[in-house]
Amino acid sequence: MATETAALAIGVIALVSTIETCHRGYVRLIATAAAMPSSSREFVLDLQIEHYRFDLYWQYMGKTETGTDIALMREQPPPTQELIEGVASKICALLRDSNHLAAEYGGAMPGTFDDLEEAQGHTPGPASPRVESKILQQLEQLKQWRSQPPSAATSTASVPISNMQKARWVWRDANRAQKLTADLKKYNDTLWTALSPVHARLLKLAAPSFILPGISDEASLAMLDSERRGNLLDESLAALSRLRRAVAHALDQEDGRLAASRMAIPPGDIQISTELTVTTGSRTKRAMGLLNGVAVLIEYREIDAELVHRVQDTLRRRLYQLAVVLSEPYHPSLRILPCLGVWSPDPANDRRYGLVFRVPTATSLAPVKFVTLAAMLSSTPTAPRPPLGDRFKLALALSIAIMQLHAAGWYHKGIRPENIAFGQVAGAAAEVTEPRLLGFEFSRPATPAAESLDGGAAAGVVDLYAHPARQAQGPQRAPFRCTHDYYALGMCLLEIVLWEPLARVKERLYGVSPERPLRTASEWAARVQESVFAEMAGRYGEIYRDVILVCLSGKLPIQPRETPAGTDDPDAALHMAFFNDVIRRLAQCRA
């Protein structure tokens, strides 16, 4: 037994050395390829994606930064372990061969494997500071190259001639370049499919959130949006790329003016169907109607008349930009209804608008009605609760949608039961495992340039779903961050598993007429976390309990390698930490 353990430890050390060598090889290859003309952008993009997929795979497998363990590898049967080790070695050999190919056309890549081994004294392990410094310089060059417009990137004067010579092998031999990326895709696909279908599905879900923060230039996003890829990422990466592009355009003021003319719906084009008014059980005003014969859902937005004109104008522009962002056809996992435009029902009132969404049509050709989670929770205990397994699926679906929105660079800012809806065909129960996200009135791009314009909770009023840092008044109010959406999600996950509204949870914790009423949001957050920790595990399991606590506390353990190389997204590491600590855990929940 001791011999087997020692052999396994030696095997892990050797495999980790191979993984690290592959990682550095990808970095060097990408840095060299980035010095090519813009006609080779697709080659650079392919290399980046396969690099991200490779790094994501080993993070998912549980490779530690110290290189002493790969947790999920230990769980695989010996044939699978051998397959994984063999594929990793093939990737390493393929990246080594690319150096020899580069040498045929005018010089080796900067920071080659030979340089690395010389710097390390031929001892496998982490790169030396000298070599890592060179890598960082190359990544900075890559970032600068990506930020250039295509006209500048195509100029040979915009990059050092030595780098152009070193990259000559790619654009003089396109077939070899295509075969290189095709082989890297094939090997990554093999690694993914070597695991169980459950693991492969989770990897596929995580990939866009890991890849997109490192790819932000318009040309690369457009290539991803074309859905040209033939690997396991398929349409989900294309859809998120489309959303990320739309978010980038939403920051452009000129695009905002164009959006107003493109997305405006004339007042007389919509007829409200009062019999289809949405049951919300909430403060949000919604209605169902018809737009040129098409069933639509309308979410109203009132602009406060007391706001200064500049802020009112910004809110109007952002509303039209939001309509553009939500108008694209997205992957179902995003849980977004397609937006058809912005409707002003009263021409005399320039402060009341409605976001108009297309409603799915049932097989009977009748429009699907919507019921919100708030309404369903309020109907308990008279209505039966959904099975626990369905509640777990609902929690997972919502978490995936939030992760993908954040990866595309968008904050929701309104996660609460009144903004989670389910389709309902006449005579049938609501589809609780297929939620739709509504309530985008205050959502915005995840960038400081898009300032928050929502007023927050009134002084002295505790919003049960809003993070305490967002309920301070004046300058003490924190800017919105991913963790604030996570907090609201955690409160919703608590309601979903209990299948009762937070108002009832509050009554249990404080009493109907409490002697000491709830005074601060921080007190509420602490009290809920204490209650969850004390009561949840025995009823619904430790995994679900820990997920709620992670969301409410915002304490997500972040590993250094969880930030993709070259990313300019400050929350990139949070996306992967959220995947590991929330989504992977929720996927394990069973009724």
User: Model confidence over 293-304: pLDDT tens digits?
Assistant: 888 999 988 887
Q: Are residues 165 and 273 in the same domain?
A: no
C-alpha dihedral, 232 to 423 to 397 to 318, nearest 10°: 90
pLDDT exceeds cutoff 60 at 431: yes
Report whether 310 contacts 451 (CB < 8 A).
no
pLDDT tens-place string over residues 103-127: 554 444 444 444 433 433 333 344 4
- Asked if residue 301 and residue 180 are part of one domain, the reply reads no
Would 226 be classed as within a structural domain?
Answer: no
User: Which position has the token pair 């204490």?
Assistant: 530
Computed from CA positions of residues 238, 321, 292, 303, in that sequence, does the dihedral angle turn out positive or negative? positive
Q: Which of 160, 195, 230 is the last residue of a domain?
A: 195
More confident residue, 130 or 224: 224
pLDDT tens for 243-256 read: 888 877 766 655 55
437 has which bridge partners?
336, 420
Same domain assignment for residues 511 and 574: yes
Q: Is residue 245 part of a domain?
A: no
User: Which one of 153, 180, 195 terminates a domain?
Assistant: 195
Q: Are residues 396 and 469 in the same domain?
A: yes
Pair (162, 299) in one structural domain: no
* Residue 166 predicted with pLDDT over 80: no
Residue 373 has pLDDT above 90, yes or no: yes
- Would residue 37 count as lying in a domain? yes
Considering its fold, how many domains does the chain have in total?
Answer: 2
Cα gap 578→364, rounded to integer Å: 40
pLDDT, tens digit, 9 for 90 and up, residues 538-558: 889 999 999 999 999 988 876
Select from 109, 100, 135 the least CA-distant residue to 20: 135
User: Is residue 201 assigned to a domain?
Assistant: no
Q: Could you give the percent of the chain with pLDDT greater than 70?
A: 71
Assess if residue 278 is contained within a domain: yes
Point out the domain boundary residue: 173, 195, 217: 195
| 261 or 364: which leads in pLDDT | 261
Whether residue 15 lies inside any domain: the answer is: yes
Give the per-residue pLDDT at 127: 41
354: containing domain: 250-586
CATH code, 380: 1.10.510.10
* 420: enclosing H helix or E strand: strand 420-424
pLDDT of residue 542: 93
From 389-398, 410-419, 511-520, 576-585, the region with the lowest mean pLDDT: 511-520
Task: Please indicate, yes or no, whether residues 166 and 93 belong to a single structural domain of this protein.
Answer: yes
What is this structure's pTM? 0.81
Q: 258 with 190, same domain?
A: no
Percentage of the chain beyond pLDDT 90 is 27
Helix (H, G, I), strand (E, B) or coil at 361: strand
Local structure of residue 269 (DSSP, 8 states): G
238-244-246 Cα angle (round to 5): 105
Tell me: do 167 and 304 sit in the same domain: no
Which two tokens mark 544? 């679900």
Average pLDDT, the chain: 77
Q: Are residues 190 and 261 in the same domain?
A: no
| Whether residue 418 is found in the same domain as residue 525 | yes
181 lies in the same domain as 312: no
Say if 236 falls within a structural domain: no
The span from the CA of 139 to the CA of 24, in Å, is: 12
Of all residues in the chain, what percent are helix, strand and coil, respectively (each to 5)? Answer: 60, 10, 35
- Written as one string, the DSSP assignment of 398-416 is HHHHHHHHHHTTEE----S
Examine residue 402 and state whether it is found in any structural domain, yes or no: yes
Average pLDDT over residues 49-64: 90
In terms of domains, do 425 and 306 share one? Answer: yes
Does pLDDT of 132 surpass 50? no
**pLDDT above 70 (res 134):** no
Q: Omega of the bond prior to 381 within 30 degrees of 0, cis?
A: yes
